[in-house]
Chain A
């Protein structure tokens, strides 16, 4: 069947190609009048037909035309020209027309287009090339730093999820992720990461489903930031919408091939450095023993997963873990007590990845079609990790009559992950699936990772450095498996097959009325399998999670576009939307262990398996909406929408809700035409309200059936109390904006100020556990986000051979929880806890504080300085509800520069985040454990800090910065040797000490490209473009304040950000790409 399909496609291709091969070829060059520079991307079309082409980078075009045809040349910001072909060459000079900038067509909500003049809300467009040029197979990463108001956080684990938030966190516990809409089809982007995983409790980051989308199929991305722009999307639009328009077929056959090879490596500034003075132990000694015929043997504290042990001494021979591995050359031998030659940095590999794509488009009078295929194989820096994607895009339109067009598209995305790195800190089962946790938090600096590798390869068993009692014969690990065993035996695999498609029909009733209908579907099924083999510490298991997701939308839309009078234009719409979501899953697992090692099947269970956990969630929202845009003289625009939704997740009494939006724009430059330096000027304002429904199943109370005790059934009340009286939550958003362009659009400027109030939020409010519940769903909180966004673009230099373009984005958002729940007596909740982490730190939404406030123990301050007690140790709060950090940045920004010199181009993006906090549990533990150089320095007296504290100049130890209770500087020296001296293990340092500034400046991407000149192209037959590119991603963290890690790294996408637990290093990628266009 597949073959036949392919054959048909080929035939179709040949046929369509032949259709247009006619007449003679005309070539020419299009230049701009004001500077004589070539204009790339100018549309050239044969008048009276839909055939045409675009000019190349050097302004040249080539087109087959019938004799005597007329060609139309149109380009944004320039007056259109129509000329008759006379001969084989036709050069054109276009005249800039600043007025036309306002005619730029911008795609808005529901794919409706408005000209820039008519658009009175903030929207920013990113070209598809900008998104895909960095050749990451997650297109979301390509938006980082390119859009103001958009905060993107990438997690570094292979295929890790990406957090995408527009204009701040609005919902305290609900979804804050922007909605992705691809060609009008909203797509599911909820990750399947469990709540344990998100709170650092171990698990895998299965990534963001939106990353399935093929970057090479993206024509452009429009970011609708505020509710004014997105109100028509209903509740889901309240977090902003990222509209993706896929490539559309142009007239004539077009084939584009991209082939990329990448090499990855870790950025060492984001991985620990290891001190080289002290080895394994929680104290200063070896274990004395009588082994291997040596009555005075000294044995390393292999069971101590720390480096607070004895100082290295090359002259001292001790028995290390390999002395107890019978297959080791060092078996039974004492070896010199020295720092490892190969520290965990050498665990990482430098993987080679490939990405190949082909996109074929064709269009004629009767329709268009598009077919694309991308195959990418991304190998991770952790051994045995891989992400394999197959993406197929197909779309076609057919004009049944000149008035009636039908179209359909189907995209198939297949994603296969193997060995995505475990995240966080496994504490339930002692799993340690995340080798980073050990490398960063619990490590012995005498352990040579390459010897661990050799031991694993020799034995194929779990020979760990962390043997629990080798002297007594127990070589089984105490806490940590051999890392090579982990990646080979305890890995996950996942696969997702996704279909995304729609059928649509468009009927042009009259010149001013258009009716369109669409049925669209996004559905995927995924299977996540996790393994934990026999021979690992903890309980071996196999689990599988089958998850099916689908969203179906039915849309019907009537569109009016009519000039009511010479000066008035009316655009109006009336529509309905029916959205159905259906999500179901089964999680099944073995119970109590595996019988046969290495067999990962549910039947391979040691004890009778327990019932799988099932979920079945169906919901439906029915909406009707209307809108109108009234424009006067292309100068004043008034826009209004109203939508009514009815949602199944709300109680029937409150499930219908209306919400309006109004916005207006004034293009004042129309009145200032005498100032030629002002190309464009507009002010705009909008107000919008959006209603939102409840999380599924938050209305009716249910119980959970738990496994029976023998023959006795057991059930338990859910600890979250549901609520029969929930109302829709509301978001009110106000926005003003100013758009300016100067000097023939050489300099442009777009600024917005917005205030968004979300109220009646439906929250699982933390209530006292003494109620018998830990949470109750209530219409409780309000959150305000206020912010300022600025985009600047300019072309400082524009000459014949050299071009420099710069684009700057700046965003600043302030977030405040303005109210929380009040009980009947008027007592208001003071805080909502969002997440609780390994070390007692919590993420919170405190009243009048920010969403994402880190709380924990703090210093006790005297005159603003930490106070120390008489023993020289810090005084610490007894309470843990102190605000010790805020994970929201002060501002973020991006600077994108692009230079073109003849056929070369260079571009680079600098991504900046200023302020905000990150809590590092990696440092809290790793500093306690003595892993880092920060724990083994030379003190102010010139002595090793870990040497004993004495009262002379030979003293080790250090003086904690701070003051005594009476405000005098601390002078008491404390020891630096014991476990917990520098970190949090023994509780002598407050959690506040591990809150770091999360600022960074990153060279996010840099690209050097070379496009073959026309002269060379001529020899290549049908090839229209050949481009070579060298691409670097995550090249350099120019500045950061968090040692040994990437401040951007987190555990999962979602509302819990800014906590590091077993963080992955940043992966630096260098790619070579070859692009061929036919």
Chain B
């Protein structure tokens, strides 16, 4: 009996206070800490993926902007956002995948990076890209969590006023610009866009500041003017060589997401709209030099032809229409839009020049005339896509394209139209510009769910998870509808 008591006592001691059990709870396959640059690279790639993507679950703005339309299953074309939950997708992609990883990178940089200047530069660059990310959130949803965002102690953050956030973003951008020391280094190769070139980031930040300024030109002319003029003075993009692009690679998983959506998946849902195609003047003397880079001739008839937006009750035979160009998609097409290594664009010179043209037209002092910037913008777009400068000059010489002679429209409309064409592969930006300049007029397709959407409805997850704040935000903006106009969209 004694023996037994002893055995039991021993076993209990053994089970109660032997080695520290919690050491078992350390995951041997996933790290507790990673280098800051690994987080930065991933966040930069995910951000570029999100703005580049053509996924029907995420980036549907080429459809909203009626550059493309769907042949079957017209939900996105018809502005239905609850079906595939794009607002949820975008919210997650930008907040959870992008902003939080930049945030974690910023927190890890002081640990990893010894050199004080490099440290400061890296934190500023990550912050610039956070401002960039917030820009898309605030211009898409309106009021969003900002002051309480990215804070795990606030699992149900309140939403802040969109206009206030916008002002805060501009201030933040200025702080970042001031923090950049061009004599110092930054991420190096881990920066997939500028390979750590701080001077380029400085120009990028100012160019983006210019863009942010112009976005509010209708709603807050004074701030717009001050912002734009300061940015220009500090130096903005001057040519396509300044463009912020991420060069994807040709093998998965680091490919261009368009290739994943259109080629790898072997789907062919998207074709040109007839409206957009008509603006490219196919088969005429005034044919847009970008046409073969934008679209492929139809498979069946080898002609450039678009389908009426949202037409056909879902019975369009894709083979009768022009699909996005790319040798992988359609034999014989010139462009490389659907190639796996086609670069993704964060900001380009053409867009900067259009903003400058519009600024000049508004009477801002941006060191040039609307005409010169307009011509530079169109030329930059054509040459970026593969056209020659000669072709660009010829294109600009046509009366319908020339800034001064374009008939039947104001100069703002001419800028808006050309910017719309230039932002072909960047539907999200086309949507922002289109809401501000309201040209070209886009009308809802047949059987649309709403009038033309001027914002994204809030994610279903926010309705379910963060309801009181969601309710307040919805009330504050005038209703969680796709047709509720946002602060910058005054007309």
Contacts of A985 in B (CB 8 A): 73, 75
Q: How far is the CA of A620 from the CA of B23 in the complex (A)?
A: 11
With contacts A576-B12, A766-B465, A767-B155 taken as known, whether A881 is within 8 angstroms of B460 at the C-beta atoms is yes
Q: Is B459 an interface residue (CB 8 A)?
A: yes
Cβ contact within 8 Å between B12 and A624: yes
Q: Is A301 an interface residue (CB 8 A)?
A: yes
For B146-171 the 0/1 string (1 means CB < 8 A from A) is: 00111111111100000000000000
Contacts of B318 in A (CB 8 A): 303, 468-469
Q: How far is the CA of A652 from the CA of B465 in the complex (A)?
A: 31
Closest to B299 in A: A472
Q: How far is the CA of A707 from the CA of B42 in the complex (A)?
A: 10
Closest to B36 in A: A715
For residue B113, give the distance in angstroms from its CB to the closest CB of chain A.
15
Cβ contact within 8 Å between A772 and B82: no
Contacts of B251 in A (CB 8 A): 591-592, 607-608
Q: Is B8 an interface residue (CB 8 A)?
A: yes
Instruction: Name the residue among A648, A707, A770, A771 with the largest chain B CB count within 10 angstroms.
Output: A770
Cβ contact within 8 Å between B24 and A706: no
Cβ contact within 8 Å between A283 and B80: no
With contacts A616-B29, A710-B249, A987-B449 taken as known, whether A655 is within 8 angstroms of B85 at the C-beta atoms is no
Q: How far is the CA of A283 from the CA of B316 in the complex (A)?
A: 10
A-B contact pairs, 5 of them (CB 8 A): A622-B16, A652-B20, A705-B34, A714-B41, A768-B157
Cβ contact within 8 Å between B319 and A472: yes
Cβ contact within 8 Å between B464 and A987: no
Cβ contact within 8 Å between A768 and B74: no
Q: How far is the CA of A92 from the CA of B176 in the complex (A)?
A: 100
Cβ contact within 8 Å between A824 and B26: no
Q: How far is the CA of A591 from the CA of B260 in the complex (A)?
A: 13
Q: Is A48 an interface residue (CB 8 A)?
A: no
Interface residues on B, range: 35 or more
Contacts of A646 in B (CB 8 A): 15-16, 21
For A478-492 the 0/1 string (1 means CB < 8 A from B) is: 110000000000000
Cβ contact within 8 Å between B266 and A538: yes
Cβ contact within 8 Å between A281 and B104: no
Cβ contact within 8 Å between B4 and A558: yes
For residue B465, give the distance in angstroms from its CB to the closest CB of chain A.
5
Cβ contact within 8 Å between A878 and B313: no
Q: How far is the CA of A842 from the CA of B252 in the complex (A)?
A: 31
Nearest 8 CB-CB pairs, A to B?
Answer: A772-B100, A770-B145, A622-B15, A767-B155, A283-B315, A702-B30, A469-B319, A715-B34
For residue B286, give the distance in angstroms from its CB to the closest CB of chain A.
29
Q: Is A635 an interface residue (CB 8 A)?
A: no
Q: Is B91 an interface residue (CB 8 A)?
A: yes
For residue A613, give the distance in angstroms from its CB to the closest CB of chain B.
9
Residues of A whose CB lies within 8 Å of any CB of B are 281-283, 285, 287, 301, 303-304, 429-430, 468-469, 471-472, 474, 476, 478-479, 509, 515, 537-539, 556, 558, 574, 576, 578, 591-592, 607-608, 610, 614-616, 618-620, 622-624, 646-652, 655, 696-697, 699-707, 709-719, 721, 765-774, 776, 821, 823-824, 827, 829-831, 833, 836, 839-840, 842, 844, 855, 857, 878-881, 978-979, 985-987
Contacts of A716 in B (CB 8 A): 39, 42, 46, 97, 101
Cβ contact within 8 Å between A767 and B299: no
For B422-438 the 0/1 string (1 means CB < 8 A from A) is: 00000000000000000
Closest to A470 in B: B319
Closest to A477 in B: B266
15 new A-B contacts, CB < 8 A, other than A712-B37, A772-B95, are A591-B252, A619-B25, A622-B21, A649-B25, A652-B22, A712-B38, A715-B38, A715-B42, A716-B101, A765-B155, A768-B155, A829-B156, A840-B83, A979-B313, A986-B74
For residue B7, give the distance in angstroms from its CB to the closest CB of chain A.
7
Cβ contact within 8 Å between A702 and B313: no
Q: How far is the CA of A650 from the CA of B252 in the complex (A)?
A: 39
Contacts of B461 in A (CB 8 A): 766, 768-769, 774, 833
Q: Is B372 an interface residue (CB 8 A)?
A: no
Cβ contact within 8 Å between B42 and A987: no
Residues of B whose CB lies within 8 Å of any CB of A are 1, 4, 7-8, 11-12, 15-16, 20-35, 37-39, 41-42, 45-46, 72-75, 78, 80, 82-85, 91-92, 95-97, 99-101, 103-104, 144-145, 148-157, 189-190, 192, 249, 251-254, 264-268, 299-300, 312-315, 317-319, 447, 449, 457, 459-469, 480-481
For residue B99, give the distance in angstroms from its CB to the closest CB of chain A.
6
Closest to B316 in A: A282
Cβ contact within 8 Å between B16 and A770: no
Contacts of A282 in B (CB 8 A): 72, 313-315
For residue A838, give the distance in angstroms from its CB to the closest CB of chain B.
9
Closest to B265 in A: A430
Contacts of B317 in A (CB 8 A): 287, 301, 303, 469, 471
Q: How far is the CA of A1028 from the CA of B145 in the complex (A)?
A: 71
Cβ contact within 8 Å between A771 and B154: yes
Cβ contact within 8 Å between A576 and B252: no
For residue B86, give the distance in angstroms from its CB to the closest CB of chain A.
11
Closest to A838 in B: B84
Cβ contact within 8 Å between A840 and B82: yes
Contacts of B91 in A (CB 8 A): 769-770
Cβ contact within 8 Å between B460 and A714: no
Number of A-B contacts (CB under 8 A): 297
Contacts of B46 in A (CB 8 A): 716
Contacts of A772 in B (CB 8 A): 95-96, 99-100, 103, 149-150, 152
Contacts of A618 in B (CB 8 A): 24
Closest to B255 in A: A592
Cβ contact within 8 Å between A987 and B155: no
Cβ contact within 8 Å between B33 and A721: no
Cβ contact within 8 Å between A831 and B465: yes
For residue B268, give the distance in angstroms from its CB to the closest CB of chain A.
7
With contacts A713-B35, A776-B152, A878-B480 taken as known, whether A281 is within 8 angstroms of B315 at the C-beta atoms is yes
Closest to A606 in B: B251
Q: How far is the CA of A1051 from the CA of B72 in the complex (A)?
A: 28
Cβ contact within 8 Å between B314 and A770: no
* Cross-chain contact of B8 among A474, A574, A700, A840 (Cβ < 8 A): A574
For residue B10, give the distance in angstroms from its CB to the closest CB of chain A.
10
For residue B40, give the distance in angstroms from its CB to the closest CB of chain A.
9
Closest to B7 in A: A556
Q: How far is the CA of A880 from the CA of B41 in the complex (A)?
A: 35
Contacts of A303 in B (CB 8 A): 72, 317-318
* Cross-chain contact of A709 among B45, B83, B145 (Cβ < 8 A): B45
For residue B287, give the distance in angstroms from its CB to the closest CB of chain A.
24
Q: How far is the CA of A649 from the CA of B25 in the complex (A)?
A: 6
With contacts A697-B25, A703-B34 taken as known, whether A468 is within 8 angstroms of B268 at the C-beta atoms is yes
Q: How far is the CA of A651 from the CA of B22 in the complex (A)?
A: 7
Q: How far is the CA of A839 from the CA of B80 in the complex (A)?
A: 12
Q: How far is the CA of A918 from the CA of B112 in the complex (A)?
A: 52
Contacts of B465 in A (CB 8 A): 766-768, 829-831, 833
Cβ contact within 8 Å between A827 and B468: yes
With contacts A430-B265, A709-B45, A716-B39 taken as known, whether A648 is within 8 angstroms of B25 at the C-beta atoms is yes
Q: How far is the CA of A695 from the CA of B257 in the complex (A)?
A: 35
Cβ contact within 8 Å between B11 and A576: yes
Q: How far is the CA of A839 from the CA of B83 in the complex (A)?
A: 6
Cβ contact within 8 Å between B152 and A699: no
Q: How far is the CA of A479 from the CA of B189 in the complex (A)?
A: 40
Q: How far is the CA of A824 from the CA of B457 in the complex (A)?
A: 28
Contacts of A700 in B (CB 8 A): 25-27, 32
Q: How far is the CA of A855 from the CA of B150 in the complex (A)?
A: 28
Contacts of B45 in A (CB 8 A): 709, 714
Q: How far is the CA of A699 from the CA of B317 in the complex (A)?
A: 54
With contacts A474-B299, A620-B21, A842-B460 taken as known, whether A713 is within 8 angstroms of B156 at the C-beta atoms is no
Cβ contact within 8 Å between A615 and B449: no
Q: How far is the CA of A647 from the CA of B11 in the complex (A)?
A: 16
Q: How far is the CA of A710 from the CA of B249 in the complex (A)?
A: 8
Cβ contact within 8 Å between B34 and A471: no
Q: How far is the CA of A479 from the CA of B96 in the complex (A)?
A: 32
Cβ contact within 8 Å between A986 and B447: yes
